[in-house]
Chain A
Amino acid sequence: MPSEFIVRVNGASVSVPAGATVAVAMVMAGQPCRSSVIGEPRGPLCGMGICFECRAVVNGIPHSRTCQLLCEPDMEVKTDE
């Protein structure tokens, strides 16, 4: 795998280092991971798979815990609305 590659976050391309988690890609892109019950934007909180605030849609799969998931080339990530 190359040392850096592109993933897409809400349609925008982000170059991430190999070994980066999907949560990292979303924070780098400045995009929220999910929208809360009352519609607030939310991003990662605990960074260790406990709080579920970083769940997003990864390659079409909703509620993926992005802090526990590594980026792969051409991954498609979207804010969980």
Chain B
Amino acid sequence: MNNYSRERFDVLVVGGGPAGIAGAVRAAESGARVGMVDENVAPGGQIWRGGSSEGPHSSEASNWLVRLKKAGVIELCGKRVFHHPEAGILLAEGLDDVWELSYRNLVLATGARERFLPFPGWTLPNVMGAGGLQALVKSGLPIQGKRVVVAGTGPLLLAVASYLRKHGAEIPLICEQASASKLARFAMMLIRHPEKIFQGLQLRKDIAGILLATSSWPVAAHGKRTLEAVTISSAGKSETVQCDYLACGFHLVPNTELPVLLGCRTRCGYVQVDELQQTSVQGIFCAGEPTGIGGVDLALIEGQIAGLAATGRTSEAKALFSKRERFRRFARLLDETFCLRSELRGLPSADTLICRCEDVSYSRLREHTSWRAAKLHTRCGMGPCQGRICGPATQFLFKWNPDSVRPPVFPARVEHLAAQPQLIPEVTGEVQ
């Protein structure tokens, strides 16, 4: 039998990225018993993966990580929340352990993932997300001397190109689907966001000399068993570039599965929150990317507001509102700049796989009129990722809306789903 443990918290935070860390710290600094559960091996989320010893956020990241230790937050790393058996309780699993986590208030800081758009060859090994390849390099993949084409859309592309080049990669090209005029307007609007200007200038210096092609996107990846080259459409012309990796992501989509499972209302795909970051469910707060893609600065402010509000310190939370409003304007600017152009709907050919888990092709999907019908007839979205990759793709390609979420919110081991809490003695002595 696996280990079954119980923990009780005043505030439980799900997600250990900037929003979750900020929320956990502010809640714990008031003396509350706070837990933070995250599926990665260490806190930091994607942007601060590995404690982030480099990049423009390095000192900010280490300050928050130090505060996290000092505040006495109970960190549960390498555990993934998979079920919500009853109000006030979440179940999480590790490799060989199940955790029953009860809470008075909950802060959801589940972050975002990359949006992937299917094109011929995108399933070849070494075609990865832009953030995906960066995560692998941060996890030890040597990139020295490798040729990497970076493509897709969003500010992440520049950050990834800069990071990979610092680690010795050769970047022949960055392809950004947004037009040059949209990027120019974005750069101009940055004047209202001084802290972003600094980051932007630093990035520009870091990627100096790399060709940044606008109105450009990958149309096909080539190779037998692994990637060998990619064909790019750039301002109407196509060009084939040899490369070892294609790092390709089309901005970000919020991870709203757990909030939706818990009954939190969404609007336009984002979790709806009030001014104190509380969702439509009393006592459940949400912060960071699930409420709108705004990056690390907005996530830190929203996380703090949620952590303060979850421990009843509303006046301290209110002091952060004006800062949040400014960062939210930046989030709207990101949305406008990096929205997907309609030509990208023409990327898949008939036999391009859209659902990678179940190998469902574009031609089989286009016969259907809804996500539900496609799921029932083709098994699209029914594999282990539960539609997390093909869902946002079909939403863009066919304008299909996602279904309701059902537990388990992630595939879990059968013995963990069947774990019987009442048969096992309580592990934690502390009861609040």
Binding site for B on A (CB under 8 A): 16-17, 19-21, 23-24, 27-28, 30, 32, 36-38, 40-53, 55, 63, 67-68, 70
Contacts and interface: CB of A to CB of B under 8 A. Distances in A.
Nearest to B390: A51
Given A20-B141, A40-B123, A41-B125, A49 B39 contact: yes
Contacts of B384: 52, 55, 63
A43 B131 contact: no
Given A47-B129, A52-B385, 10 more contacts: A17-B140, A30-B226, A42-B125, A42-B356, A44-B128, A48-B113, A49-B39, A51-B389, A52-B384, A68-B40
Contact of A21 (B113, B139, B385): B139
Contacts of A17: 140
A47 B133 CA distance: 7
Interface of A is mostly: loop
B356 A24 contact: no
Given A32-B125, A36-B359, A67-B135, A27 B141 contact: yes
B136 A27 contact: yes
Given A47-B134, A50-B385, A19 B139 contact: yes
Contact of B132 (A28, A46, A52, A68): A46
B388 interface: yes
B136 A44 contact: yes
Contacts of B129: 45-47
Interface in B370-426: 383-385, 388-389, 411
Name the residue in A37, A41, A51 with the highest tally of chain B Cβ atoms < 10 Å from its Cβ. A51
B358 A37 contact: yes
Given A36-B123, A46-B114, A49-B39, A41 B226 contact: yes
Interface string B45-71: 010000000000000000000000000
A23 to B, nearest CB: 6
A45 B142 contact: no
22 contacts: A19-B140, A24-B141, A27-B125, A27-B136, A32-B125, A38-B359, A41-B124, A42-B125, A43-B226, A45-B116, A45-B128, A45-B129, A46-B131, A46-B135, A46-B389, A47-B131, A47-B134, A48-B131, A52-B384, A55-B384, A63-B384, A68-B41
Contacts of B80: 49
B129 to A, nearest CB: 5
B128 A47 contact: yes
B139 A45 contact: no
B126 interface: yes
A46 B140 contact: no
Closest 5 CB pairs of A and B: A20-B140, A47-B135, A43-B125, A47-B132, A52-B384
B225 interface: yes
A51 B385 contact: yes
Nearest to A27: B141
Contacts of A38: 359
Interface in B75-99: 78, 80
Contacts of B135: 46-48, 67
A50 B356 contact: no
A52 to B, nearest CB: 4
A45 B356 contact: yes
Nearest to A61: B95
Contacts of B142: 28
Given A45-B116, A68-B40, A21 B140 contact: yes
B338 to A, nearest CB: 19
B173 interface: no
A19 B358 CA distance: 32
Contact of B39 (A30, A43, A44, A68): A68
A75 to B, nearest CB: 14
Nearest to B136: A47
B323 to A, nearest CB: 28
Contacts of A41: 124-125, 225-226
A21 B40 CA distance: 11
Contacts of B383: 52
